[in-house]
Amino acid sequence: MSGMSDVKARVTGAVDALEGRLRAVSREIFEHPEEKFAEVRASRLLADDLRAAGFEVEVGTAGLPTAIQAVHPAAAPGPTVAILGEYDALPELGHACGHNLIAAGALGAAALAVASVKRELPGRLLFLGTPAEEGGGGKVVMIDAGVFRGVDAAMMFHPASFTAVDHGSLAISEVRLEFHGVAAHASASPDQGVNALDAVIQTFNGINALRQHIRDGARIHGIITNGGAKPNIVPEYAAAEFYVRAAETAYRDELLGKLERCAKGAALAAGASFSMSEISPPYKAMRPNRALGAAFTRNLESLGWTFDTKDLPFGSTDMGDVSQAVPAIHAYVAICNRAIAFHSRDFVEASRSERGHRGMLAAAKAMAMTAVDVLTSPDLARAMQAEFRGE
């Protein structure tokens, strides 16, 4: 046990020693936000630091130009641990979900901390840079390409307004609805037109009427992406995009059917034609591995952190798909107060704040210590696998 404590002290010390570099990485990614599948600058930055730490680095893994697979060369028999980083930004808002902190924290845990002691430890250490979490499903593509094959534990942290580990997520599908009508002069000959925008508006009305008949916690929300060209032209084309979320994948699929029926009814009423298509891969709900989560919890608590348990919000993440493929956790670490919401301008400010960087450093230390636990504790490795198999 004393040897284990020494190793953990060394990995946390490694994070402290390179605090300045991790803050610089976070600031660089924050100040140059890149949207899904376009994270060229961020992926290059991370890859360079991983190479400098001795990793064998592949950029473009799984056919994704900004995905990273980095393997530490000191591989030995034992578990394989993957630490995941995200680095895509949101349209218009930038880093309103704190992915700059996720990337820096993962880099600190894997490349700068565990890598510093890896030659003394069994198993394999991976850093996986996963692009396009914000609606692109980078992790889903990487799973399908076999990147997670052989991984025994996958972990990442996400900045939040609360601190929690065994917290789930909502399954999600992102779909596009398109309506086609007939153009006409909106004043001189409106009777000759078929208004596609009317169909979109009626779809929203149908969804609003449906809300009282769906389960608590489920979500259907959308935006109009095309409402016509000019007020004096009856819109011959209109479109909307929707997110459909639920705690269970099966119920999400049921809600997709309800959305489609609302849209078909709206199209019929307007006299328009209608189509519905998937925009990006659907995400599964998170299945937190509680054995792995308990190890992370103990390690973060050892750094003086406490956990929130009440009234926690739910979002969606492609880490849910990872958790259905291998034992995984998606830990949340508070960087702001509970009044601040994800994807808000206030969260943008939190993502570059001093508190945000303190949370990132604590998460890096806790992930590094948890990686050491997985690599060195056969009992933990067995418990994770037994839970994952449902035993």
**46-87: per-residue pLDDT in tens?**
999 999 999 999 999 999 999 999 999 999 999 999 999 999
Same domain? For 31 and 164 the reply is yes
Domain boundary among 263, 278, 293: 278
> Which residue among 278, 306, 339 closes a domain?
278
**What's the mean per-residue pLDDT of the chain?**
96
Residues 28 and 111 in one domain: yes
Assigned token pair, 144: 């399908």
pLDDT, tens digit, 9 for 90 and up, residues 109-130: 988 899 999 999 999 999 999 9
pLDDT at 291: 98
Give the count of beta carbons closer than 10 Å to the beta carbon of residue 337: 11
DSSP letter string, 211-231: GGGS-TT-EEEEEEEE--S-T
Q: Quick one: 192 and 64 in the same domain? A: no
Do 163 and 180 belong together in one domain?
no
**pLDDT > 60? residue 2:** no
Query: Domain check: are 124 and 258 in the same one?
Result: no
pLDDT tens string 266-290: 999 999 999 999 999 999 999 999 9
Output the pLDDT for position 3: 59
- The count of structural domains within the chain is 2
Q: b or e along 111-125 (b: 16 or more beta carbons within 10 Å of the residue's beta carbon)? A: bbbbbbbbeebebbb
Taking alpha carbons only, the member of 138, 147, 79, 73 closest to residue 103 is 138
Among the candidates 256, 278, 300, a domain finishes at 278
Model pLDDT, residue 34: 98
> Given this model, what pLDDT does residue 1 score?
45
- Give the range of the structural domain holding residue 6, as residue numbers without chain letter: 2-169+284-389
DSSP 112: I
Do 123 and 226 lie in one domain? The reply is no
Q: How confident is the model at residue 4 (pLDDT cuts 50, 70, 90)?
A: low
In sequence order, what are the residues at sequence separation of 6 or more whose Cβ sits closer than 8 angstroms to the Cβ of residue 325?
143, 148
Same domain, residue pair 20 and 149 = yes
Pair 255, 362 in one domain = no
CATH code where residue 143 lies: 3.40.630.10
CA distance 326 to 348: 31
CA distance 203 to 28: 42
Give the CA angle between residues 81, 87, 90 to the nearest 5°: 140
- Do 165 and 187 lie in one domain? The reply is no
In this structure, the answer to whether residues 264 and 295 fall within a common structural domain is no
Residue 190 and residue 162 share a domain:
no
Look up the CATH number of the domain holding residue 205.
3.30.70.360
Give the pLDDT of residue 112.
Answer: 87
Whether 203 and 303 map to the same domain: the answer is: no
Q: Are 288 and 323 in contact (CB under 8 A)?
A: yes
